[in-house]
Chain A
C-alpha cells in the first residue's frame, strides 16, 4: 500500500493506560486469562452504536488522560464516550468537543483528549475499523499478561494507529446523555461472609470506604474500617470473578476488576452486582462508597433494568 493511501492516527501523546478494547475474551479463566474488555461496557456499546459500527468493534480506552492524536488520510468521523474533555485542532482553529457527538476530521487535523471529568475511563473510535490482531477472539490488550495487539502493551508516543476500513454510508448522529453515577454500590453477600465478626459485617454495610490510588484495570483497593476475620485470613485458593470483594490479611477490601488474577486465597465478603459494575469502575480514587446488600433475585432484575436502560439510550441516538 502506498503511504498516501494509508489512513492512520499518529500518537503525539499516549495518555494514561491507553489500549484497544472490545467485549473481551471468554472461557480462559482455567488457564489464568481474565475477561479483560472495555471496563465500562455501557460506554463501549454507546460508542459503537453512535458510530454505526459492529457491536463488538475495537475501540480505544484511556484512563484519566487520553491520547493526543494527529490524523493522516481520507475524511473520517470520530466520536468519544464517557465524561471527557477534548479539543479538536484544525487549520480553521481549535474547538471544544462534546462526548456522544460525532465530529469530522480531515488530513492533518488533531484530537487532543485532555481528561476524563469526575470519572476514570473514556472511549474513542471512528466510523470504521482499526487494524488489530485477535487473540482468542478478542483484540483487548491485557498488559499484565502481555496479550493482545501492540504486543500486549499500552500505547506509546509515535505509535501509528492504522485504519483498515472506513464506513462511507455513515450518518452523523448524537446522543444527549450526561452519564450516570452512583454512590451506593449494591452487592450480594459472599461465600465467606461468615468469616467476619458481626461488628465487622455491620461496619461493612454501614460505614463508607475510600477508593485508594492503588486501583487499576486489575483491581480497586479500598480503605476504611478494618474488617476483622474471626476464622482464617486465608482460604484454599479458588477462582475469582469480576466484582468479587476479597478482604486482605490486613483487613482491607479489594474489588477484582476486568484484568484480575483468576485465582485468589483471600476470603470473599461480597460481590458487586452486574448492574453496578460499569458505574463502579468509573469512581475515582478519593471517592467514598457505601455497600448495600441486595438479594440474588433483585440483582438479576436490576441487571435486566440496567440493560433496558442502555438499550433505551441507544434508541435515543439521533
Chain B
C-alpha cells in the first residue's frame, strides 16, 4: 500500500501512499499508523499520518535511513484489518457573533445562509488527520456545492472553538491560532484536554463526526 519511501531530511522517512485525497487512501495511512504505533519500535520518535502520507521520525543514534526503510517495507498489513471508528457528536452554535464568514460564504457559493447550514449539518464527516496545533481535526468531505477557497488574507487570530470550511474539508480550531478557513460557527466543547494524557484529543484519525446545531442559550449553558 506504500507506493514509495523517501527521506525527509536525515531523521525521517517519508512514506507516500499516493497523490489523491480520499478516504480509501487515508484509511490505509491510518492503518499503517496504528499498526506501527502498536509495534512500539525502539528509536521511533514520531509518526505523523496525513491525507496520503505517513512521516516516521527516528533517532539518528539508533537508526539509519536505509535500515529503517527496510524494516518498514517488510511490514505486512492484512487487508481485512478493520479501522476502529468512533462516532462523535459535536454541538455548534452559528449565531452571528460566531459565524464570522457566513456572508462571504453566501456570496462565493451563491447560496442562502440557511441552505448552507442545512447542508453542513446534514452530513457526517470523516477525520483524516489531527494536528497543526494540538487536537485540530481535519474532516471531510463537504458536498461539491459547499466547496470554496481559504480567505485571501488569513486571520491573525481565529477564536478557539471556531468551525471552518475550505475546499472539501472542515476543521475545528482547538486553540486560538492564525488561520484562513471560512468560519461558520463555534463549538463550546473542549477539543483538546492536556490533563487527559492518555487520550487528549476529542477526535482522532478515522473517527466520524456529526455536528449538531445549538442556540446561543444552549452554547452558554454548555460553556458554564
Contact = CB atoms under 8 A, between A and B. Distances in A.
Interface of A: 26-33, 35, 135-136, 144-147, 152, 188, 190-191, 236-241, 243-244, 261-264, 268, 271-274, 296, 299-300, 303, 307
A264 B177 CA distance: 14
Contact of B8 (A144, A152, A244): A244
A262 B48 contact: yes
B211 interface: no
> Which interface residue of A26, A191, A243 has the most chain B CB atoms within 10 A?
A191
> Which interface residue of B47, B53, B132, B197 has the most chain A CB atoms within 10 A?
B132
Interface stretch (B10-18, B78-86, B103-111, B213-221): B10-18
A145 B134 contact: yes
Given A30-B49, A145-B175, A236-B50, A296 B135 contact: no
A268 B53 CA distance: 14
A272 B9 contact: yes
13 contacts: A26-B46, A27-B44, A30-B37, A31-B130, A136-B197, A146-B194, A236-B19, A236-B21, A236-B52, A238-B53, A243-B9, A262-B48, A262-B131
Contacts of A237: 50-51, 129, 132, 138
A241 B21 contact: no
Contacts of A244: 8-9
B78 to A, nearest CB: 22
Contacts of B192: 31-32, 145
Nearest to B129: A263
A241 B33 contact: no
B131 A263 contact: yes
Given A27-B47, A236-B51, A264 B132 contact: yes
A135 B44 contact: no
Interface in B1-31: 6-12, 14, 19, 21
A29 B135 CA distance: 10
B194 A135 contact: yes
B135 A32 contact: yes
B189 interface: no
Contacts of A296: 7, 10, 65
7 closest A-B pairs by CB: A239-B48, A271-B9, A239-B55, A299-B10, A32-B131, A262-B131, A29-B46
A188 B7 contact: yes
A274 B131 contact: no
B77 interface: no
Interface stretch (B56-64, B89-97, B112-120): B56-64
B8 A191 contact: yes
A299 B9 CA distance: 9
B50 A239 contact: yes
A28 B204 CA distance: 12
B222 interface: no
Given A30-B48, A237-B138, A239-B48, 19 more contacts: A29-B46, A30-B46, A30-B49, A31-B130, A31-B131, A31-B134, A32-B136, A32-B192, A145-B133, A146-B194, A191-B6, A238-B55, A244-B9, A263-B48, A271-B8, A271-B10, A274-B9, A296-B7, A300-B10
B188 interface: no
> Which interface residue of B50, B130, B138, B175 has the most chain A CB atoms within 10 A?
B50
A31 B135 contact: yes
Contacts of B162: none
A33 to B, nearest CB: 5
> Which interface residue of B129, B136, B175 has the most chain A CB atoms within 10 A?
B129
A27 B9 contact: no
Contact of A30 (B53, B131, B133, B194): B131
Contact of B45 (A27, A32, A264, A307): A27
Contacts of A262: 48, 131-132
A300 B65 contact: yes
A282 B6 CA distance: 29
A135 B134 CA distance: 14
A241 B133 contact: no
B201 interface: yes
Contact of A29 (B9, B47, B174, B204): B47
A186 B49 CA distance: 27
A290 to B, nearest CB: 18
> Which interface residue of A136, A145, A152, A273 has the most chain B CB atoms within 10 A?
A145
A60 to B, nearest CB: 21
Nearest to B169: A237
Nearest to B205: A30
A32 B194 contact: no
A264 B178 CA distance: 13
A191 B7 CA distance: 8
B200 interface: yes
